[in-house]
Amino acid sequence: MSRYIINGGNTLSGKVKISGAKNSALKLIAASILADSRVTLKNVPDIEDVRTMVEVLRTLNVSVVFNSSNNILEIDPSTINSFEAPYELVRKMRASVLVAGPLLAKFGEVKVAIPGGCNIGARQIDIHLKGFEELGAKNFIEHGYINCSIDSKKSMHAGRRKLAGATINLDFPSRGATENLMMAATLAEGKTVINNAAREKEIPDLANFLISMGADIKGAGTDSITIVGVRSLNGSVYSIMPDSIEAGTFITAAGLCGKKVEIEDAIRENMEIFCLKLREAGIELNSTSKNNIVVSRPKKALRPLNISTLPYPGFPTDLQPIIAVPLSIAPGVSIITENVFENRFMYVEELNRMGANIKIEGHHAVINGVKKLSGAPVKAFDLRAGAAMVLAGLVAEGTTEVFDIHHIQRGYERFADKLTGLGADIKVVDD
Ligand code: UD1
């Protein structure tokens, strides 16, 4: 088990470069299964979740080579011969279910372990499955696995079982469901329209990748996506977009304890509401180019905020634990309302152990700003909650130990190294 030891109070300065987006990389790796020839993905972050997705592809007998020193992933899906995503991997990373759409489209059949709950909530996949049914698949659950298959009598096209294009109205703009259905529809017979689709910037990134492979997709990034099925998809070379949640994490760190920290590959238009909220709190964000943001700790005290998480373009739930750290030391009362996941305030007790004054009322957190935080041993409950603990440790007085940092390593590339490069005092200790 590894932990971070952080001595708080250092001023951060200098440059940090944001890595490729985790939540795009995982989907593009899954989508590569759809191609008939070699795919090269660039700007792939070297994080645990990417390694898990690589393992999922290897269990399907896809050949994958990850060159982590230059963040290039080579995928050759031509040898794929299995359509089963096993429990050991799906349990480790829920996003493994994103292979279901591509496998169903390619084989007419998929068997994927039911992911179950996770630290931030129940996270159903009913919307994915309902969508597969509307595309002509049948689902049944057996021995902890979901089996989806296309009825062969109705759907043979050129010797292959194919999904049938349909209009799908999502009950909720689920990102995962939008991505799974968009991937499945690329090889379906006819036209699919996904209404009430998720609009996060990773959706057009996935669509652009699929289009580069030969897919016909319009409207990704809006709430209605149209996909006209094609016969096959080719390999392609594609560079993954930068990670706006990592950017938001570094922007917040700089707003807490920075002096002119330049964050490269931070794309403001991908995180507009987050940037607006930080400005409202008194943290100025400047840019010297389209792709960078320069941040310093404000001279005046921070101002409290009201925040409600919502699907894009609302405030992202993934940055909710992160923004709670500056709000915990902003004089006055801030309120955070979590609308996307039911269990995303697990970090609050840990932050309170560092001196914060936060009360949970249902899906609201009521934050009474305190003068300062003080270092303490704390736990990373999940990926973003863990990152929030690190930010708290950077601004706190004294030493903070963050336990269970494997959660953080799932999604942040070289997190401690990047912070050390900016002048933070943070060490990784392996026990
Ligand atoms: C993705 C992100 C995650 C982010 C989340 C919301 C990845 C790998 N993860 O997760 O970091 O926090 O979007 O922006 O990209 N739901 C259902 N039924 C479904 C699908 C979802 O009830 O079939 C519910 C979930 O339980 C959750 C909400 O919808 O409460 C949002 O889920 P979704 O948008 O699907 O998130 P993910 O794609 O799992």
422/303 same-domain check: yes
Do residues 158 and 223 share a domain?
Answer: yes
Average pLDDT over residues 352-366: 97
Whether the CB of 338 sits within 6 Å of ligand 1? no
Q: Read off the CATH number of the domain in which 115 is found.
A: 3.65.10.10
* Burial classification of residue 65, based on how many CB atoms lie within 10 Å of its CB (0-12 exposed, 13-18 middle, 19 or more buried): exposed
DSSP letter assigned to residue 158: T
At 285 the pLDDT is: 95
Domain co-membership, 327 together with 403: yes
Burial 302-318 (b: 16+ CB within 10 A, else e): bbbbebebbbbeebbbb
Same domain, 235 and 374: no
Lowest mean pLDDT among 15-19, 212-216, 342-346, 405-409: 342-346
β partners of residue 85: 112
Query: How confident is the prediction for the chain on average, in pLDDT?
Result: 95
Given a cut of 80, whether residue 152 has pLDDT beyond it is no
The verdict on 13 and 108 lying in the same domain is no
Predicted pLDDT of residue 160: 74
Name the nearest CA neighbour of 216 among 206, 207, 205.
Answer: 207
Annotation marks residue 148 as catalytic: no
Cβ pair 155, 164 in contact under 8 A = yes
Q: Per-residue pLDDT averaged across 147-166, rounded?
A: 80
Which of 239, 273, 306 is where one domain is finished? 239
Total of domains in the chain: 2
Ligand 1, atom 5, residue with closest C-alpha: 175
Same domain? For 122 and 54 the reply is yes
Percent of the chain with pLDDT over 70: 96
Same domain, 200 and 297: no
Task: Say whether 199 sits in a helix, a strand or coil.
Answer: coil
Residue bearing the CA closest to ligand 1, atom 4: 318
Mean pLDDT of 258-272: 95
Q: Is the CB of 341 under 6 A from ligand 1?
A: yes
* 337 vs 321: CA distance, rounded Å: 11
Ligand 1 pocket mutation pick from 47, 128, 146, 175 by most atoms within 8 angstroms of CB: 175
Res 2 pLDDT > 80: yes
Q: What is the pLDDT of residue 431?
A: 82
Contact 197, 221 (CB under 8 A): no
pLDDT 10s digits, 160-205: 789 999 999 999 999 999 999 999 999 999 999 999 999 999 999 9
| Structure confidence at residue 122 (pLDDT) | 57
Q: Are residues 233 and 183 in the same domain?
A: yes
Average confidence (pLDDT) over 125-148: 93
* Contact assessment for residue 28 and residue 238, using Cβ atoms and an 8 Å cutoff: yes
> pLDDT band for position 117 (50/70/90)?
low
- Which phi and psi (to 5°) does residue 250 adopt? -70, -35
- Confirm or reject: Cβ of 197 under 6 Å from ligand 1: no
**Ligand 1, atom 25: nearest CA belongs to which residue?**
123
Q: Is 121 in the pocket of ligand 1 (CB under 6 A)?
A: yes
Q: Please tell me the residue having the least CA distance from ligand 1 atom 29.
A: 174
| Average confidence (pLDDT) over 102-120 | 84
pLDDT at site 304:
98
Residue 43 Cα to ligand 1 midpoint, Å, equals: 24
Nearest-CA neighbor of 287 among 313, 306, 261, 305? 261
Same domain? For 379 and 418 the reply is yes
Q: What is the pLDDT of residue 118?
A: 60
Q: What percent of the chain has pLDDT over 90?
A: 88
Which ligand 1 atom sits nearest the alpha carbon of residue 126? Answer: 23
Ligand 1 pocket check for 171: Cβ under 6 Å: no
Answer yes or no: is the C-beta of 174 below 6 A from any ligand 1 atom.
yes
Distance 122 CA to ligand 1 centre (A): 10
172: Cβ below 6 Å to ligand 1? yes
DSSP line for 357-426: EEEEETTEEEEE--S--B--EEE--SHHHHHHHHHHHHHSBSEEEEE-THHHHTT-TTHHHHHHHTT-EE
Q: For residue range 92-104, what is the model confidence (pLDDT) as tens digits? A: 898 899 999 999 9
- For ligand 1, whether the C-beta of 181 sits within 6 Å is no
For ligand 1, the distance from its centroid to the CA atom of residue 174, given in whole angstroms, is 5
In this predicted model, what pLDDT tens digit does every residue of 213-252 receive, in sequence order? Answer: 999 999 999 999 999 999 999 999 999 999 999 999 999 9
Smallest CA-to-CA distance from 412 within 392, 368, 382 is with 382
120 lines ligand 1 (CB under 6 A): no
Domain housing 364: 2-18+242-430
Best residue among 119, 134, 174 to mutate for probing ligand 1's pocket (most ligand atoms within 8 Å of CB) is 174
Q: Record the pTM.
A: 0.96
Q: Whose CA is nearest to atom 1 of ligand 1?
A: 175
Q: What is the pLDDT of residue 156?
A: 64
